[in-house]
Amino acid sequence: MLRIPCPHCGPRDEAEFSYRGDATVTRPGPEDGIEAFHGYLYERRNPRGWQVEWWQHGAGCRAFLKVLRHTVTHEIRAVATATEALEVPEA
Amino acid sequence: MSAPEPTHPLAAVATPGRHGAAGDAPLRVTLPRRDLVQVMARRGREEALARAMQDTFGMAPPAAGRSATGRDASAVWIQPGAWMLTAPRGAEGALAARAAAAFAGLAAVEDQSHGRTTIIVSGPAARAVLARGCRIDLHPRAFGPGRAAGTQIAHVSCLVHQVDDAPSFELTVFSTLAEPFFHWLLEAGASHGVVIA
């Protein structure tokens, strides 16, 4: 069970959140072509290490949050609101 | 033909009297009739909304995780830029109409009075009973009067609002889930005893 420190509500259990995928993916522009949209929809990095992900606090403040989580250890190092930027560390 | 009298969502299950064990510190349950109005600030109008709430209801919008009490209504923070106004049940839609007039152009106002039901649990047993289904820490060092949290209790989305040191908690749930939630509450409180007013 993860414990995610929501910037609005404080630390809450994972059960209150929904995972919403990789937060580093950006939607291509309307003229970027089918290949760009294929990549946007299907191609994921699936890293072994740090990843910035979307989590929605659906049972709490309903906000979409960016969470920096380690995909092996599940350590959560930083949580930010949707408009803030989170850098992925090197190691 | 007039509209039927609204029935309390828990009328069929909340039988007044004592349920569960006999003890000297039972959980006290009351079912207040409340008006509930959701207020969501329009982008960039938060400061004007705060002034309007101060002028009309005599309170500033509470910060995250808190509640505020005004002249004749209270506000509970529910999400960034949104609050739930509560007041004792008055004329149908009156609180929502008042809020809509006061916050015109500043916030979206939605009457939730029928969609949500408030249950008040009170007494020294309240924390122990809620801990059986609530994941957040309600210990005095982490929570207290004037604090509020949206969370799940027994898998039902619930707005928890502590109103005093008794301690008393106002639990606001969807009316359609109030009955199963209430069954859980009776089960969770059975070992302490539950007194329904």
State whether B105 and B157 are in the same domain: no
Indicate yes or no: CB of B65 within 8 angstroms of CB of A15.
Answer: no
Asked if B12 has any chain A CB less than 8 Å from its own CB, the reply is no
Please indicate, yes or no, if residue B6 is contained in any of the structural domains: no
Residue B11 lies in a domain: no
Residue B84 domain-assigned? yes
Task: Please report, in tens digits, the pLDDT of each residue of chain B (197 residues total).
Answer: 566 667 889 999 999 999 999 988 999 999 999 999 999 999 999 999 999 999 999 999 999 999 999 999 999 999 999 999 999 999 999 999 999 999 999 999 999 999 999 999 999 999 999 999 999 999 999 999 999 999 999 999 999 999 999 999 999 999 999 999 999 999 999 999 999 99
Q: Are residues B127 and B76 in the same domain?
A: no
Report if residue B135 sits inside a domain: yes
**Do B127 and B173 belong together in one domain?**
yes
The model carries a pTM of: 0.91
The reply to whether B121 and B97 lie within a common domain is no
Comparing alpha-carbon positions, the chain A residue that sits nearest to B79 is A61
Question: For position B7, what pLDDT does the model report?
Answer: 82
Question: β-strands B194-196, B27-30: how paired?
Answer: parallel
Distance CA B17, CA A11 (A): 38
A86 in a domain, yes or no? no
Residues B95 and B133 reside in one and the same domain: no
Write down the pLDDT at residue A88. Answer: 85
Q: What is the pLDDT of residue A89?
A: 82
Q: Is residue B183 part of a domain?
A: yes
- What CATH number did the domain enclosing A64 receive? 3.30.2270.10
Number of domains in chain B: 2
* Domain assignment of residue A74, yes or no: yes
A19 located within any domain: yes
Q: Do B151 and A15 touch (CB under 8 A)?
A: no
Is the CB of residue B149 less than 8 Å away from at least one CB of chain A? yes
Residues contacting residue B53 through CB under 8 Å, at least 6 positions apart: B39, B59, B60, B61, B70, B75, B102, B103
Supply the range of the domain harboring residue A44: 3-26+33-81
Tell me if B64 and A59 make a contact (CB, 8 A cut-off): no
Residues B123, B162, single domain; the answer is yes
- The minimal CB distance from B150 to the residues A13, A15, A60 is found for A60
Asked which of B111, B131, B161 is the last residue of a domain, the reply is: B111
Q: What is the mean pLDDT of each run of 10 residues along chain A (91 residues)?
A: 94 95 93 95 92 96 96 95 88 62
Instruction: Answer whether residue A42 is part of any domain.
Output: yes
